[in-house]
Amino acid sequence: MPRDYVKDPAEIYRQSFATIEAEARLDGLPEPLRAVARRMIHACGMTDLVADLAWHGEPVAAAQRAIAGGAPILADAQMVASGIVRGRFPKTEIVCVIAEETVAETARRLATTRSAASVELWRARLQGAVVAIGNAPTALFHLLDLVEAGGPRPAAIFGFPVGFVGAVESKQALIDAKLGIPYLTLRGRRGGSAMAAAAINALADDKPGAEA
């Protein structure tokens, strides 16, 4: 006998978001961040992540304005870039340089990771850009160092590095840095490319066709 399970995509979508609404404490978030939290929860299945969200300013509005003005989205990992639904941002350049030949050379020169070196190579595009970090803590640390040293300032930072070495500390460093740049992050070890991409995809949730 065939297994009995929900096969209709629209019904799967409806039930998923109904569960999120029932289980997650979204009412404590500013309205613009609720759509982002829903997408992040949908990406990871963890309805308790709301309590660990931290932000400054209005990252959603800042990112939306930047994108509407033609700013690129800079991703630290190809998985983040691939997870961003291009159809939601048809006129936006989504940049990930991790595979470029100069990254390895830059990493050796700076004695750091390829992820941090990628951030170094963002300099020409970073001013006013939207940053999505969903992999390496070193990328977020390097971004903070770059900005604090007087480098270009992005319009908004969505910082979700994941793991056991530096992830907690890099996100706390973002919170403590007080750069005056709108940001959204997730305290603790949790994070990842799927969450970062989901947060960016949520920026288009108020646009026609954004149900995908």
- Looking at every residue in the chain, the average pLDDT score rounds to 93
pLDDT at residue 177 greater than cutoff 70:
yes
Q: Is residue 180 part of a domain?
A: yes
pLDDT at 56 over 70: yes
Residue 40 lies in a domain: no
Residue 1 in domain? no
Looking at the domain assignment, is residue 65 inside a domain? Answer: yes
pLDDT at 206: 63
**What is the reported pTM?**
0.93
Residue 208 in this model has a pLDDT that exceeds 60:
no
**Is residue 31 one of the residues assigned to a domain?**
no
Task: Determine the structural domain holding residue 74 and report its residue range.
Answer: 50-204
State mean pLDDT over 64-81: 97
Q: What is the pLDDT of residue 211?
A: 45
Q: Which residues are catalytic?
A: 42
pLDDT digits (tens, 9 = 90+) for 34-44: 999 999 999 99
Is residue 209 over pLDDT 70?
A: no
Domain count of the fold of the chain: 1
Has residue 16 been placed in a domain? Answer: no
The pLDDT score that the predictor gives to residue 1 is 82
Averaged pLDDT, 127-142: 97
Does 103 fall in a domain?
A: yes
pLDDT value for 42:
92
Cβ proximity of 200 and 73 under 8 Å: yes
pLDDT at residue 207 tops 60: no
Find the CATH number of the domain harbouring 179: 3.40.50.10230
